[in-house]
A and B are shown apart, each in its own frame.
Chain A
Amino acid sequence: MTPRTTELKKHYDVVIIGAGGHGCATAYYLAKYHGVRNIAVLDKSYLGAGNTGRNTAVIRSNYLTEEGVRFYRESVRLFQDLSNEFGMNIMYENRGQLTLAHSDAAVRSFRWRAEVNQHLGVRSELVDVTTIRELVPHLRVEEDCRYPILAGLWHADGATARHDTVAWGYAKGACDRGVEIHQLTEVQGIEIANGGVSAVRTNRGRIHCGAIVQAVAGASSVVANMAGISLPIQSYPLQAMVTQPYKPLLDPHVSSPHLHVYVHQTSRGEFVIGGGSDPYPRYQTQATLEQKEALAAAALELFPFLAQAKVMRQWAGTTDMTPDYSPVMGLSPVKNYYLDAGWGTWGFKATPISGKMMAELVATQRVPDLIAPFDLARFQRFTQVNEAGATAASH
């Protein structure tokens, strides 16, 4: 999917900064449901060049807070119908997700999560080691290892999809409805008049606009700063790697927050291995040897047979981490400037619902209930939505 290159117009009703999944989805739903079509989506690089093209495509809704579970549950629902909606196969595969507990504290938190999840209609249950053996026969569950597995949180709704296609599907659907996507168009400045945004400055000239949505993931603080907005975010690299393809033998997604690793096998046969963030912030997407070693060591604890596997690629994306591991989305201190940020290591699964909610917000100027808890002002109110336990190293 290559968006057509056209001249920039002088004015757009809405400028969306960032042509990742979130930016394209916002444009798509604005055009589809709200009749807003004079939209430009600007990207300094190419469509899906950011974390949309770098993530490990874990889709799930077994979070811990009610606010979180409600929100991600809606996203999973939208994902299930996305191939039909796009007329494009996003390769959505509902394989389930198994999260492992290696400590009593983790078992306790899994019980808690399962209760919250079930209460809200999400398939999520605590399972014992016998069930774990049945779900993942190749997982090492021996007791004579460093961190024996005590129990698991089984999330039957867990899934994966082809990440690029999600951006392409939204981009195509948006362009079909009159939206323009401009690649290699970097926003370098934001002009504010009478408390609201009036224009953006880009490497291709100045554009007047009625509203701006920023959906730039790893560049959230840098872009918000152009509008004079400070965010509760620090940008850390997150790395992942993938092996050569092998015959299919791992069905669900398996995650161990304790070992800082998660593994799944794609339908092409590659093992995707991801884990924790880098130890300190950087605006760099180099992969490091240290992280490769850490990921490999942890993956081998779970799946010793991977010792034979050859790593094909290793990469990183810059992730905008918030203190409570929930996003920052909604209104900002600047009128007509809307934030879709703080997606850290968990925002791919939120692509459809974020786009839908941001579109509703921009079109109606009312904050939808589903995203009200994630507003920037929660930090001033001290009402954070703490997903730390349900997010770190599970994505």
Chain B
Amino acid sequence: MNLLEGVRTALSSITSNKMRSGLTMLGVIIGVAAVVIMVAIGEGANLQVSSQIERLGSNLLIVMPGRTREPGARTMGAFGSMDVLTMDEVQAIRDECPSVGAVAPEISRGTTVRYGSSSIQTQVVATTPEYLSVRAFTVASGSFFTEQDVLSAAKVAVVGQGVIDELFSGADPIGQELKVGQVRLRVVGVMGSKGQSGMTNVDDAIYVPITTAQKRILGTKYVRTIYAQAHDAKSMDAANDEIVSALAARLGSTDAFYVRNQADVLGAAQDVTRVFTLLLAGIASVSLLVGGIGVMNIMLVSVTERTREIGLRKALGARTVDILMQFLIESVVLSVVGGVIGIIVGSAGSRIAARVAGWPAAVSLGAVLLPFCFSLAVGLFFGIYPASRAGRLNPVEALRYE
């Protein structure tokens, strides 16, 4: 008996019991689809987080007060004082670090912003004009505040798209006056929309000169974060070392601050999402395994049920290998067809899941091939045992089987 004949026989016996074949396949379909979807969700999350971190800007070093032992953990400043860095440190980095191009400080605080009779909760981000190039932000209309505004602590602000929508109901805000606490700020520009970037949502914030915030709004001389941009990727390490030594000299110790680069943050975030992906895939694999056991169960039942058929086929001249092939092909066809349908369902499902989550759909080749190969292996593995059991039967014994 050749392979074509074997496939024909297998198909005829699969279609002769459609209900049972369908249910068996369903187990494989659900298992494979679950793995595909779970892995796609994990990878989608990973892409999402990575792109957020990359949107921070390029070749970025981030200086923060305090110490941290786990880069990427959100416990900055948990060890040590927050009041360490000032505009002097910003200037020191600018002067003493040749590998650093642009430098910008940042203080970010949640505040109530009022316009006329309406008010919203949003972030006030205090910085300098260099912030735009360091963070790769753009201004959509009007202009960003200037060096001059910083020097004079001008009462001006640039607003994000989200603020316009909520506070001005979409109307043109340029020239209007906002109130933060008792301070009146004139709107001079609107930020280009960029969405989530790092830990801040660009759209949901207003931007003011750092001096304005320090003197008029917050009453502090410290800054919370310093963003320093290296000239290029190659000078990142040099820039890092220069910043550390410049600040250590000024602050007397390397314990009062720490410097992280984008790659650290990215790596840490990717570690987290990788674990997340593995966890999801692990859970989904259990259902694939259960599907595989379903195939084996059905094959065992099918062999037992068809013991007489096996006896008859042997009596009519089937060799043991012919019987083995027949059942093997049957279980492989079941699990492969199930696997392919599972992949289709899974791909569609992950696209839907990605849309719901607002993430990029990430159906990778590996996430598709792996469960497919697994389902094939399941078919082979769980098909061989019952098939060889059937193939070894003595025809008379098999025929007498009730």
Asked if A and B are interacting partners, one says no
A residues neighboring B (CB under 8 Å):
none
